[in-house]
Amino acid sequence: MGNGNLGSGDVTIKFIPQSIRGRLLLAAIAFTAVALLFATLSIGQVLDRFVTRGLNERLDTQIALLARTVRADGSIDRSMLGEIGPFTQHGRGWRWRIDAPGTSLTSREVLARDSLRPPPGARARRERNGPRSEQNADLYARVLTRQTSGGKITITVAAPRAFIDRARNAAVRPLLLSLTALGLFLLAATLLQLRIGLKPLARLKAALADVRAGRIERVPGGQPAELTDVVSELNGLLDENEAALARARGHVANLAHSLKTPLATLSLRLKQTGRDPDGELAELVAQIDRGIRHHLGRARAASPGAPGQPQVPLARAVGELADALGRIHADRGIAVTVDIAPDIAVKCDPQDLDEMLGNLLDNGWKWARSRIAISAVGHGSSVAVMIDDDGHGLSRDAIDKALVPGQRLDEQGDGHGFGLPIARELAELHGGGLELGTAPLGGLRATLTLPA
């Protein structure tokens, strides 16, 4: 629940959840609990007043019956008291008393008048024609004082205080059950509200994931009003990053093309007799050329903060390249079979994909005897493209050299290897790779792996 930094002496305790859902849920639970507590206390007071009022009415009715037995001179009509007596007798703890000049009458259970006091916090109303409330630890009483020609009379009717507690508890239990049910309902409503209210954030997250994966170019509009500005800023950031990426690619491409012609001229002059007898200068020129190609490919493949690479249908890209190379090498009469499902796509820059596949397919056409087979399979989050030919292939040593950075087998006169380092570098820049092996047709198999 807390993080402590003992070195600095600062201790930070985190009580607030980090998620918006958690914060809203915690706030809703806290506010609901406070509201239910306030409602319980308020309704409890209302119930107390309601129970007390009902008991007062009941006791006042008994006082009214007993008051009919008092004559105008303050004497008590015992015959009438006998008639109404059954209506004023209750269970244990219920009692009454009449104090008249010179005499006192009580119910079967004696009521001690001197033990009764007004309820705490309440002022005993000494109304001329109305009873007042008094109580002690065991009894709750209503008292009526009336002046007669013969003197003052006092009629007291009392009920056990446990009666009030039982009546209040009988009403509080269903109230608590109702408030508990209400609290659970409000909690469920809060969870549903959070689920509905935060759904646009989930959609926004999914849209950003689609942008990053290259399935869409921009975050769709039509968002709630609270997210409109956020979506606008995100799309603006994507536009700026794409423009910056385009400018960076353009600068690198311009630099590469501006150096290409001088390097080619320098390479040709170094091949002249006596210009580079040991070949060291030619190797340096080749290294410069490979460095330019490498960084040009990196600029095309990725840029920090750039939008996600698009998803390119693999079957269409391979089919277009195969048709073009078939026409270029029509004189060789190479038979080509393509076995790629139409729903397979790779996450890659289209130009980079064309360059990688073009180099590998061109190798196949150059060194195949009669057949080239192209296939692709998906492996979870990646796609493997296999390009097989029936040529003479490469030895294990030659394969190892071909995949070492800086090695160019075509410059060594070994046939295979044209563009292999560039294809491998581009594949790795996109999060994939390139492997060479023996094809089932007997020649070379080039396996290009790219993100699905």
Question: What pLDDT is recorded for position 242?
Answer: 78
Asked if pLDDT for residue 51 goes beyond 70, the answer is: yes
pLDDT digits (tens, 9 = 90+) for 9-22: 444 445 677 777 77
Percentage of residues of the chain with pLDDT beyond 90: 6
Which of the listed ranges 49-53, 213-217, 310-314, 374-378 does the model predict with the highest average pLDDT?
Answer: 374-378
Asked if pLDDT for residue 123 goes beyond 80, the answer is: no
Question: What pLDDT is recorded for position 7?
Answer: 45
Asked if pLDDT for residue 387 goes beyond 90, the answer is: yes
Confidence band (pLDDT; 50, 70, 90) for 309? low
Question: What pLDDT is recorded for position 409?
Answer: 47
pLDDT digits (tens, 9 = 90+) for 62-110: 888 888 888 888 888 888 877 776 666 666 778 888 888 888 888 876 6
Confidence band (pLDDT; 50, 70, 90) for 384? very high
Question: What pLDDT is recorded for position 10?
Answer: 45
Question: What pLDDT is recorded for position 300?
Answer: 57
Asked if pLDDT for residue 112 goes beyond 70, the answer is: no
pLDDT digits (tens, 9 = 90+) for 350-361: 878 888 898 889
* Structure-model confidence comparison of residues 299 and 254, the more confident one: 254
Confidence band (pLDDT; 50, 70, 90) for 125? very low
Secondary structure of the chain as H, E, C letters? CEEEECCCCEEEECCCCCCHHHHHHHHHHHHHHHHHHHHHHHHHHHHHHHHHHHHHHHHHHHHHHHHCCECCCCCECHHHHHHHHHHHCCCCCCEEEEEECCEEEECCCCCCHHHCECCCCCCCCCCCCCCEEEECCCEEEEEEEEEECCEEEEEEEEEEHHHHHHHHHHHHHHHHHHHHHHHHHHHHHHHHHHHHHCHHHHHHHHHHHHHHHCCCCCCCCCCCHHHHHHHHHHHHHHHHHHHHHHHHHHHHHHHHHHHHHHHHHHHHHHCCCCCCCCCHHHHHHHHHHHHHHHHHHHHHHCCCCCCCCCEEEHHHHHHHHHHHHHHHCHHHCCEEEEECCCCCEEECCHHHHHHHHHHHHHHHHHHCCCEEEEEEEEECCEEEEEEEECCCCCCHHHHHHHCCCCCCHHHHCCCCCCCHHHHHHHHHHCCCEEEEEECCCCCEEEEEEEEC
Confidence band (pLDDT; 50, 70, 90) for 339? very high
Across the chain, what does the average pLDDT equal?
78
Indicate the range of 187-191, 261-265, 325-329, 431-435 predicted with least confidence.
261-265
